[in-house]
Structure 1
Amino acid sequence: MTLQPSILPDEEAFADFRKQCLSGGNWLSKYDKNGIQVWIEVPASSKANHPQKVHKIKCKMTIKDVSAATMYDVLHDGVYRKKWDLAMLESYDIARLSANADVGYYSWHCPHPITNRDVVTLRSWRMMDDEYVIINFSVKHPNFPPRSDTVRAISILTGYLIKPIGPNSCTFIYLSQADPKGSLPKWMVNKASQALAPKVMKSVYKAGQEYPEWKRRNHPDQKPWLNVEQNTMPMMDPRLLSIQRAESLENVDESSKVATLDCEDSS
């Protein structure tokens, strides 16, 4: 197998993500209630005949009773996620790539008649000064090709920036550009993401409120995302992975369309 150049995010990638999270230009407000704000990115220039793409969406929540460190732990704790992420079908880590990066699998339930989705993503994280950053994007893994029972979605870029504003308060920013693939019209995907974003933010916030007590009863000292020596996952050379481009899945989606009524399950 020919090894690809390493695709691990570098410091520039994290700096660029942070800049996007904190920038105010080219973002159109779509929601602003109860401490939650949602924006979509508006391209600096666009052509009328340019095909519509999935929006880049940014959400910000001001949290007054949960620390930044706790919210960071919630996002990392895969065991706890099974308790609060009701959409999740299956989720597991595949391998470590470095001290602060791994590759994993996640699938989620979609409402009937839409086919369930899944992703394989490279996740990397940083604690910079008093900020916490997590980013992920879709990758091709030689042992985890698209499955016949789900549509392989694409995370172009997804991540979180968490900044403390007090000992038990923080700002929580979520930024994502993701394509669920299949035959769903892009306008429908964009509308749905804007509507779902506040609900997802509220769900994560509630998980943060309940995490300290749950963690106190469930291996409180076990945090491999903070303590590398606790991580027992096998190591993998990141050069075995390559970035999963959205266009590379078109043939998979076309075969699904023929079999399942335009890629959406009507059974």
Structure 2
Amino acid sequence: MSGQTVTIPDDRAFASFKSECLCEEGWSMNYTKRGITVWSQGLEEGKSVHKIKCQMVCKDVSAETMYDVLHDIEYRRKWDTNVLETFDIGKLTVNADVGYYSWRCPHPLRNRDVITLRSWLPIGKDYIIMNYSVKHAKYPPKKDMVRAVSIQTGYMIQYQGPNHCILTYMAQVDPRGSLPKWVVNRSSHLFAPRAMKKIKKACLNYPEWKQRHNPGLKPWLYPEQTTLPSIPLSELSIQHAESLENIDESSLAETQEREDSD
């Protein structure tokens, strides 16, 4: 979303996101193993915007369960080990809200956070969830965090059968900093595949967990269940990267980290 005014994505925006998820032109494959494939687009010289796309074939997870897991903020706090803090700020429409998310970055980088406008849409038996960064006066950048910018990030879930789906994750993010090359490389070969594996494991455990935690509460499916306050679009503005701190972490050395066994 490159305009100057905050808008709620329309059908054309969802169609455009879906088209890019399906497009192969201009992407370089970096990783493919056991049903997970990762592509990236080359960084322009002097630019910090990183664009990555991951796809995972899940032959034992339904599209509906995947959609629920990606929405359920209470469950995310349980399975997403990178999350530091996440909460919903307010709702805009029945299929759009604003939220906060902060996450751990690999040592020794500083941790990041974002404020995003998130929207979602079921398309037949498929689903799309996507977001982009906005500013909200009550949630300014924190001193101990780097405020990153999501230019456009999201998930597409494709129904493949009763218990079979394909998840595509695509992210165009400005991390606000000159990152070391080892971080960019590990994003494709380690971080992204690991994240996809965590999502799949979370999906497999979700039905049992949900039965014990408000099984009927799914405001992303039943908007009348939401308790979020309504917020007007006028309280939001586009988060421009240029207005945020830009730090140079390019010289930070790589630390040893145990890689998950495949």
User: Offset of 1:113 from its aligned partner?
Assistant: 2.5
User: What count of residue pairs does the alignment treat as equivalent?
Assistant: 248
Q: 1:175 aligns with which of 151, 170, 193?
A: 170
Which residue pairs with 2:246 in the alignment?
A: 253
Shift >3 Å, 4+ stretches: 261-264
Distance of 2:225 and 2:47 partners within structure 1: 45
Distance of 1:141 and 1:52 partners within structure 2: 26
Secondary structure in 1 matching 2:128: strand
Distance of 1:57 and 1:110 partners within structure 2: 17
Which residue pairs with 2:185 in the alignment?
A: 191
Which residue pairs with 1:68 in the alignment?
A: 63
Are the equivalent residues in 2 in contact too, given 1:136–1:157 (CA < 8 A)? yes
Are the equivalent residues in 2 in contact too, given 1:40–1:57 (CA < 8 A)? yes
The structure carrying a bigger helix percent of its residues is 1
Q: 2:88 aligns with which of 84, 93, 100?
A: 93
The alignment's C-alpha RMSD in Å is 2.1
Distance of 2:251 and 2:235 partners within structure 1: 30
Q: Do residues 57 (structure 1) and 52 (structure 2) align?
A: yes
Q: 2:235 aligns with which of 240, 246, 255?
A: 240
Are the equivalent residues in 1 in contact too, given 2:38–2:55 (CA < 8 A)? yes
Are the equivalent residues in 1 in contact too, given 2:48–2:176 (CA < 8 A)? no
Q: Do residues 143 (structure 1) and 115 (structure 2) align?
A: no
Which residue pairs with 1:29 in the alignment?
A: 29
User: Offset of 1:263 from its aligned partner?
Assistant: 11
Are the equivalent residues in 2 in contact too, given 1:7–1:239 (CA < 8 A)? no
Residue identity in the other structure for 1:229: E
Gaps of 5+ in 2: 253-262
Q: Do residues 159 (structure 1) and 154 (structure 2) align?
A: yes
User: Offset of 1:190 from its aligned partner?
Assistant: 2.4
Q: Percent identity?
A: 52
Distance of 2:204 and 2:60 partners within structure 1: 7
Are the equivalent residues in 1 in contact too, given 2:52–2:188 (CA < 8 A)? yes
TM-score by length of 2: 0.88
Residue identity in the other structure for 2:162: P
Are the equivalent residues in 2 in contact too, given 1:182–1:263 (CA < 8 A)? no
Are the equivalent residues in 2 in contact too, given 1:5–1:239 (CA < 8 A)? no
Gaps of 5+ in 1: none
Are the equivalent residues in 1 in contact too, given 2:126–2:157 (CA < 8 A)? yes
User: Offset of 1:182 from its aligned partner?
Assistant: 3.2
Secondary structure in 2 matching 1:132: strand
After alignment, is 197-206 or 53-62 more displaced? 53-62
User: Offset of 1:115 from its aligned partner?
Assistant: 1.5
